[in-house]
Amino acid sequence: MSGRVVPGGSADQVPAHPAYGELRSVTAAASVVLAENPSPMTLDGTNTWILRAPGQRGCVVVDPGPEDPAHLDRLAARGPVELVLLTHRHLDHTEAARTFAERVSAPVRALDPTLVLGAEGLGAGERLAVAGLDLRVLLTPGHTDDSLSLVVDDDGSVLTGDTVLGRGTTVLGDYDGALTDYLDSLRRLAELPPGTTLLPGHGPDLPDAGETARYYLRHREQRLDQVRAALDQLGPDPAPRQVVEIVYADVDESLWPAADQSVTAQLAHLRRTET
């Protein structure tokens, strides 16, 4: 499981999400097919994005998702596929990458070298000229240490994987420095031009990625304030679950293991920056 989300988004700003198995055009260059793998951790399922400039035959497939033959059939039918890109390593985004890439004879590129197939890994700021588009790689770690976003400069959109979602907020990675990285990533996304369409890995697309990133930053600061208050109550060195029981008391307990991970990152960030 890897969507790793907890409630927290603004429901009144969420547009209708596409039905399973349907291709929905979102921008001039981006369409989405929703994989049928819903769960508390993946929301409605994984969004697989298909990118191509108007009039182009070839396309880019971003995050093929789970090993679901029907889902992969739908993606293959949108080809020819020139390139498969991965936003991060979690299986709900990558499980079918090798199978799909071999089926459509396309290379796979990602930040994590273990996911790369028939190509080189991606680098910060790299520009990809593919399917008639100019894609820019923006490193956005925090959810994982290999998370990246893809800016479609021709189209005024950004694919954020699980760094910023269409609904809810993302749980942090289980590596040292995850929250510090994540806050930097959100600040990077917050600097995108107004009206940049947010194309997330889970949940519906949203009209302004920068605005959503700023909401996420405010949410993170509020959570840090709540953790500071919990530390005043519990003492300086509590177990993460003790903090979760206070700060995430309004969250379904089935999501507390994911919240444990976020609290661990929050505590590490506070120790690093405030002691």
Q: Is the pLDDT of residue 15 over 70?
A: no
Confidence at residue 272, expressed as pLDDT on a 0 to 100 scale: 87
pLDDT of res. 89: 97
Domains and CATH numbers, the chain: 5-210 (3.60.15.10)
pLDDT in tens, 117-165: 999 999 999 999 999 999 999 999 999 999 999 999 989 999 999 999 9
Measured CA to CA, the distance from residue 207 to residue 105 in angstroms comes to 34
| 3 state DSSP class of 115 | helix
pLDDT score for 9: 37
Angle subtended by helix axes 178-190 and 256-274, to nearest 10? 90
**Residue 252 scores a pLDDT above 80:** yes
Distance CA 255, CA 99 (A): 31
Is residue 8's pLDDT more than 50? no
| 38 three-state secondary structure | coil
pLDDT score at 17: 64
Query: Can you give the pLDDT at residue 7?
Result: 33
- Alpha-carbon distance of 87 to 12, in angstroms, equals 27
Mean pLDDT value across the chain: 91
202 close to 47: Cβ distance less than 8 angstroms: yes
> What is the percentage of the chain residues whose pLDDT exceeds 90?
80
Which are the contacts of 15, defined by CB distance < 8 A and separation ≥ 6?
A: 204, 205, 206
**Tens of pLDDT along 203-235?**
999 999 999 999 999 999 999 999 999 999 999
More confident residue, 40 or 214: 214
Give the best-scoring range by mean pLDDT among 18-27, 169-178, 186-195.
Answer: 186-195
**CB-CB neighbours of 262 under 10 Å:** 29
What is the rounded CA–CA span in Å between residue 24 and residue 21? 10
% of the chain exceeding 70 in pLDDT: 93
DSSP 189-255: HHTSPTTPEEEESSS--BS-HHHHHHHHHHHHHHHHHHHHHHHHHH-SS--HHHHHHHHTTTS-GGG
pLDDT for res 174 = 87
Q: Which residue type does 246 have?
A: I
